Structure 1
């Protein structure tokens, strides 16, 4: 993920889990958080690579399903918290969406609340990379904030400002949120089917299944 955001992750690490339920500005972004994690985990199988595991909440669910998980996390503070939570049941390595190492061929790449840290150009590069690395019929399953159109994106930024949600408005303006048509095109150009399922006002699951 974008290295320029690591400082934010470092500052947010200790309060991340508590902010999921207590920060009114992000209430809708994280509405149904546990169900969002379940939705991603239940689509995974085999050897799983998780980008941006943060404090390890999705990783725990993947492990509970008996899956083999390798986490890729650029933030030292987040890796430390994830290691403490996972207690050696999964490895969390230094790396990001475009720079990482794995020992086994992945069946599924998963991520939650992180893909927007890449520019659209980087997202396209990442999807091409995953297409080359995945096993036959492998998957990309990412849950993230995304929008149906540029117009919807602009309305979301305006609504956050009008509601006095200045941190949310700043996040929406600073980070690299994509539209579904752009992401769908990236997947299909790299030999994936593409489906998008809305889970709350902001978050969709993007599922790309590699065509044989």
Structure 2
């Protein structure tokens, strides 16, 4: 999962939970309704769930509250340690990422929050194809992430952040691999998924894809 971002993940680890709870003005809109977003992702899952990029374990916690069996893969050692401390022995946080993970069984759900944008569009397509192979028929991919309705909307978001003086946010938007809903829809449909998108705030959408 975007191994070029590991150093950034390590830097974020200690203050990530503070940021997602709205204490950083630049990212306040990105994380508006954060708890509701995670709850909505968890609600849409069933069965054994693979989680990619659990970070500090907040979505993992929501999944466990709903009685799911969770196997999580996190590339950042610092994030992985924080997540494991938070959830204890209720689930295992393994080393791995969206494209590099060891799992030999089929599953019913695959989830992620605020992480899929660390893959290029080519890597996203590779990941979706791989998930089609391990999901059972009727299984789901449920991702919450920043995405855009068009390239123009993406460029406007960068401009808006810069004009507000949110230079860290603008830098993040330019540096990472945010994509558009039409591109994701095409990727998923090419791999025999039906997909829907629900807007949760000015940045984040929930993408729910059902394997036919």
Q: What runs of 5+ residues in structure 2 fail to find an aligned partner?
A: none
Hey, what does 1:3 align to over in structure 2? 3
- Confirm or deny that 1:46 pairs with 2:32: no
How is 1:3-152 mapped onto 2 (pairs within 5 angstroms)?
Answer: 3-20=3-20, 21-152=22-153
Q: What is the TM-score of this pair, normalised by structure 1?
A: 0.98
Q: Deviations over 1:124-176 (max 9, x none)?
A: 00000000111111110000000000000000000000000000000000000
Hey, what does 1:185 align to over in structure 2? 186
Greater than 3 Å deviation, 4+ residue runs: none
Q: Deviations over 1:63-104 (max 9, x none)?
A: 011100001000000000001001110000000100101253
Q: What is the TM-score of this pair, normalised by structure 2?
A: 0.98
Structure 2 Cα separation of the partners of residues 192 and 35 of structure 1: 25
- Cα distance, 1:103–1:87 mapped onto 2, change above 3 Å: farther
Residue 137 of structure 1 aligns to a residue whose secondary structure is strand
Q: What runs of 5+ residues in structure 1 fail to find an aligned partner?
A: none
Residue 69 of structure 1 aligns to a residue whose secondary structure is strand
Structure 2 Cα separation of the partners of residues 90 and 134 of structure 1: 20
Q: Give aligned pairs, total.
A: 211
